[in-house]
A = this chain, B = another copy of it.
């Protein structure tokens, strides 16, 4: 997606709070502000061990319109007991004072170390000093990074029947943070005029084929948050027949962010996309596709560029999806390696060359129905182990 002019009515910025150890040496607090109330929707972690900022933000989103988002990296404010919720509220209050709004109109997100009290005083002080502007999205994307190696910010525009609307997505990846936990944060901001009800339908739909379809290590974080805020500043309504196009664009934006996240996963050298077709249902196809992308056996085979198709089929077989090996077909790239229940002789060097690419396409045809789903996975490298084992508290 090409970069375009920025979303109207939003100003953003970031500051250095020294969240992790009191030493402000990098951007670690960000603020996203709308000049008017926004329709909002959110999707949060399904982990039952849910971080305080997710609890508070869910409440604020349910309560009504939002004016902004405040985010920090370096501390997840998770497993922090009742104090954690008070700290998340205090963070919203600090942002609200800066914006000039009610604290309930602020969404809060945190990412970083788990089980350590949030240094909310330092965060509040940094929030106060943030210089806001319409174009500082790069700063926001940098401030929310943990083990990400690249900031992730994508802009796009969409021409509807009554004018053009802009969308901006910012995200951080499913990496690990010293000394703890993976988190995925993603924010979608738009100047389109969209009903809250429509947003609440669009967001889970967009998440399903994007952030919910990627896996780096199979672990679900305590802090996962996806928010969409629509402020209507463009004056262009996304309604009626335009709504489908808007929905498709939100989904495409989320998919683009998700692809960036998965490609920037810890220790990742290859990304593979799995398409499962011919399942009894879409749900079954999803189960199979996601089990294949999270299998350590598949992930290590891909890391080794090994045409190890048996692992792919075996992962599908244990996924809970209905699988009948005698009807299944497996393709790696364009090469059929298992055909309607029987292994097929193939040129191993050719398949090895395909799996040596940074992007790999795998297709599993189950031959049982018309269900289909895709998922993205990453290889499992010794570097992943190093990143996640070799740090100290």
Contacts and interface: CB of A to CB of B under 8 A. Distances in A.
A380 interface: yes
A3 interface: no
Interface string A362-393: 00000000000000000111101110111111
Interface in A312-362: 313-318, 322-326, 328, 338, 341-343, 348, 352
A323 B49 contact: yes
- So how many copies of this chain end up in the complex? 2
A281 to B, nearest CB: 15
Nearest to A343: B115
A300 B46 contact: no
A314 B80 CA distance: 13
Interface stretch (A94-102, A216-224, A245-253): A216-224
A181 interface: yes
Contacts of A309: 115
Nearest to A221: B314
Interface residues of A, number: 71
Contact of A78 (B217, B310, B391): B310
Contacts of A303: 385, 389
A301 interface: yes
Given A48-B324, A48-B325, A352-B393, 13 more contacts: A47-B318, A50-B317, A79-B313, A81-B326, A81-B343, A114-B311, A182-B297, A218-B296, A219-B297, A219-B311, A297-B388, A308-B393, A381-B385
Interface of A: 46-50, 76, 78-83, 113-116, 176, 179-182, 217-222, 295-297, 300-301, 303-304, 306-311, 313-318, 322-326, 328, 338, 341-343, 348, 352, 379-382, 384-386, 388-393
12 contacts: A47-B314, A49-B314, A49-B317, A49-B318, A79-B310, A82-B342, A179-B308, A217-B297, A220-B317, A300-B389, A307-B393, A308-B393
